[in-house]
């Protein structure tokens, strides 16, 4: 680490004042999309007035070496015990946390890898009361670095597979567009392309202008919501706050080349839309919406992903990232699995005490239920 690092933890008073500092460190850190300013600045701009957010800053002789944004909120432990938490990149409330931040972590100068441990030590005695640090959506290496560099007690609350496709595999199949797919997926793709081609020329269209992006995103939301409502679920875009956030994210990210909206058309008729994020040589599929139909042998989502992957491979990108969570389509379009980790760091001794309180609370509930049932049996 480059000499001593001085830390501070203070409220974010004016989000725009943080932009230049954040962008400069993000460039040095090689930050991914979720750690970049397009996502972070949009998140800050849409904070509810009552939200409490602190910026953790580490400075050395060469300038800012570490940054992190923490929501401050009470959280429930196992649904029973409320404890104060600092949440990296989250607020501890819905619908904001429904965005699901991934590839999360501290923004750190690569010349100062020990700054993470120093930051965690500082937070233990920073003057702000908290019981746990919640670090959601870390990649495995970031989670390991946090656990390795702290005396706090780690608790992994979730591990999620993250299917990714190395695009070299697609480029190696040049001239044979489906050969990189597994046998059953290849057959499904060919069948879908034949059926869609019957409606007219197939085209992958990328939004170039803001109006075009807004139109595609509106179509994605309509199809996505319709599909999830069929399943009895609200869908990712049910809340107006979420729609406003993504409208601004697209408005800022599209001209910077950090957001893609891709639409599959058959005979000029839209069949599906992908909403992707870009960072360096990696593209991340965040959401998709596809035309609902009754014909089971037509899979517009598969066709759109296959065309998008071919386009990104031709562009020279390295990784097509499906983000956390597995399903059959993601697995069929992946060459390997990465891991995303949801990590909590507790003050030493605090987790043991909370576990005991939770155990007692559960025992009390069971005892009261038992007494209630015995009383009912006496009637």
Domain residue spans in the chain? 6-161+340-348, 168-317
Is residue 297 pLDDT above 90, yes or no?
no
CATH class name, domain 6-161+340-348: alpha beta
pLDDT score at 197: 87
Neighbours of 368 (CB within 10 A): 10
Give the per-residue pLDDT at 363: 62
The whole-number average pLDDT for the span 248-259 is: 97
Mean pLDDT of the residues in the chain: 88
Q: pLDDT at residue 318 above 60?
A: yes
What is the structure's pLDDT at 116?
A: 93
Q: Quick one: fold of 168-317?
A: Aminopeptidase (3.40.630)
At residue 295, does pLDDT exceed 80? no
169: pLDDT strictly greater than 50: yes
Distance CA 31, CA 258 (A): 12
11-54 residue pLDDT tens? 998 877 899 999 999 999 999 999 999 999 999 999 998 899 99
Question: What percentage of residues in the chain have a pLDDT greater than 70?
Answer: 88
Confidence of residue 1 (pLDDT cuts 50, 70, 90): very low
323-374 pLDDT, tens digit each: 998 889 999 999 999 999 999 999 876 555 555 555 565 566 566 665 545 4
What is the tens place of the pLDDT at every residue in 187-219?
A: 999 999 989 888 899 999 999 999 999 999 999
pLDDT at 160: 95
Tens-place pLDDT, residues 99-129: 999 999 999 999 987 899 999 999 998 888 8
**pTM metric for this prediction:** 0.87
């Amino acid at each position: 680490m480059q000499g001593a690092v001085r830390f501070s933890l203070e409220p974010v008073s004016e989000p725009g004042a943080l932009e230049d500092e954040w962008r400069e460190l993000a460039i040095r850190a090689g930050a991914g999309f979720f750690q970049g300013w397009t996502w972070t600045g949009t998140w800050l701009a849409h904070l509810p007035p009552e939200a409490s957010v602190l910026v953790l800053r580490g400075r050395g002789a060469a300038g800012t070496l570490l940054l992190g944004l923490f929501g401050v909120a009470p959280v429930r432990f196992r649904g029973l015990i409320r404890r104060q938490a600092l949440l990296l990149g989250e607020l501890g409330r819905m619908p904001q946390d429904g965005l699901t931040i991934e590839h999360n972590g501290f923004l750190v100068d690569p010349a100062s890898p020990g700054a993470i441990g120093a930051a965690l030590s500082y937070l233990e005695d920073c003057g702000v009361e908290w019981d746990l640090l919640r670090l959601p959506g870390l990649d495995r290496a970031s989670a390991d670095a946090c656990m390795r560099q702290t005396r706090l007690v780690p608790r992994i609350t979730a591990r999620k597979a993250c299917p990714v496709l190395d695009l070299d595999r697609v480029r190696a199949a040049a001239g044979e567009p489906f050969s990189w797919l597994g046998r059953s997926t290849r057959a499904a793709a060919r069948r879908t392309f034949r059926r869609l081609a019957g409606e007219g020329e197939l085209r992958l269209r990328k939004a170039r202008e803001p109006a075009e992006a807004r139109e595609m995103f509106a179509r994605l939301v309509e199809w996505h919501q319709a599909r999830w409502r069929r399943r009895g679920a609200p869908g990712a875009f049910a809340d107006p706050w979420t729609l406003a956030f993504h409208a601004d994210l697209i408005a800022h990210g599209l001209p910077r080349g950090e957001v893609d909206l891709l639409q599959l058309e058959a005979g000029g008729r839209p069949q599906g839309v992908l909403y992707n994020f870009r960072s360096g040589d990696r593209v991340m599929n965040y959401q998709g919406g596809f035309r609902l139909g009754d014909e089971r042998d037509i899979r517009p989502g598969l066709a759109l992903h296959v065309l998008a992957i071919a386009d990104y491979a031709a562009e020279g990108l390295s990784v097509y990232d499906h983000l956390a969570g597995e399903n059959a389509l993601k697995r069929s379009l992946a060459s390997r699995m990465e891991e995303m980790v949801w990590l909590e760091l507790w003050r030493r001794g605090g987790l043991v005490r909370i576990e005991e309180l939770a155990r007692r609370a559960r025992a009390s509930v069971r005892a009261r239920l038992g007494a209630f049932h015995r009383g009912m049996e006496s009637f």
